[in-house]
């Protein structure tokens, strides 16, 4: 059985994951309109992934005797200036999500809810990967600078990441 404090924290995280999905969906749409197919595909995949994170939390809360709350979401931005700025925002957003997960982990320890603490370790690992990927992408972007050819290759690279991750997900799950 979840304590009210843990349930409230998990419900807040459900909203954060849902809003993350919307943020990446908006980034995908923006990139697609700009003709950046690889970046758009990467963001569409990320949006789906965040929705799966949300669903996993919903099921957990309900299975543990709580009631997962589906709340109103804050509308995401629709303009990002440049693809560089967009990926910087993605990185900052992942840092925010990591902090939120870490805060819940802390609450589970205070509440001596070791089952939820254990459940959240998957999210902790996932956030380490998400932040590392965002940092790697930002490093590649700074190498490109204002080189249009570099942007083209970068967009193609992200398309490959999508294809490879889709292939590994199909084989691995």
- For residues 46 and 30, what is the distance between their CA atoms, to the nearest angstrom? 14
Angle at 55 (CA atoms; ends 52, 57), nearest 5 degrees: 115
- For residues 151 and 82, what is the distance between their CA atoms, to the nearest angstrom? 11
Q: Is 53 annotated as a binding residue?
A: yes
Q: Is 127 annotated as a binding residue?
A: yes
- For residues 40 and 26, what is the distance between their CA atoms, to the nearest angstrom? 10
List Cβ neighbours of 48 (8 Å cut-off, separation of 6 or more).
21
129 CB burial (10 A radius; 0-12, 13-18, 19+): exposed
Count of beta carbons in the 10 Å neighbourhood of residue 95: 14
Q: Is 92 annotated as a binding residue?
A: no
Q: Is 94 annotated as a binding residue?
A: yes
CA-nearest of 140, 31, 15, 125 to 78 is 31
Q: Is 17 annotated as a binding residue?
A: yes
Residues annotated within the binding site for Fe cation are: 17, 50, 53, 94, 127
Residues annotated within the binding site are: 17, 50, 53, 94, 127
């Amino acid at each position: 059985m979840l304590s009210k404090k843990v349930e409230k924290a998990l419900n807040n995280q459900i909203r954060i994951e849902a809003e993350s999905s919307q943020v990446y969906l908006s980034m995908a749409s923006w990139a697609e309109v700009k003709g950046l197919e690889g970046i758009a595909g990467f963001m569409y995949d990320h949006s789906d992934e965040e929705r799966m994170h949300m669903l996993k939390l919903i099921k957990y809360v309900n299975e543990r005797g709580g009631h997962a709350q589906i709340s109103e979401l804050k509308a995401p931005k629709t303009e990002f200036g440049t693809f560089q700025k967009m990926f910087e925002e993605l990185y900052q957003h992942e840092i925010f999500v990591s902090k939120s997960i870490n805060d819940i982990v802390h609450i589970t320890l205070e509440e001596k809810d070791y089952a939820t603490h254990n459940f959240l370790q998957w999210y902790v690992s996932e956030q380490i990967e998400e932040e590392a990927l965002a940092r790697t992408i930002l490093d590649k972007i700074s190498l490109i600078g204002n080189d249009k050819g570099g942007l083209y290759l970068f967009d193609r690279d992200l398309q490959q990441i999508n294809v490879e991750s889709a292939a590994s997900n199909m084989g691995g799950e």
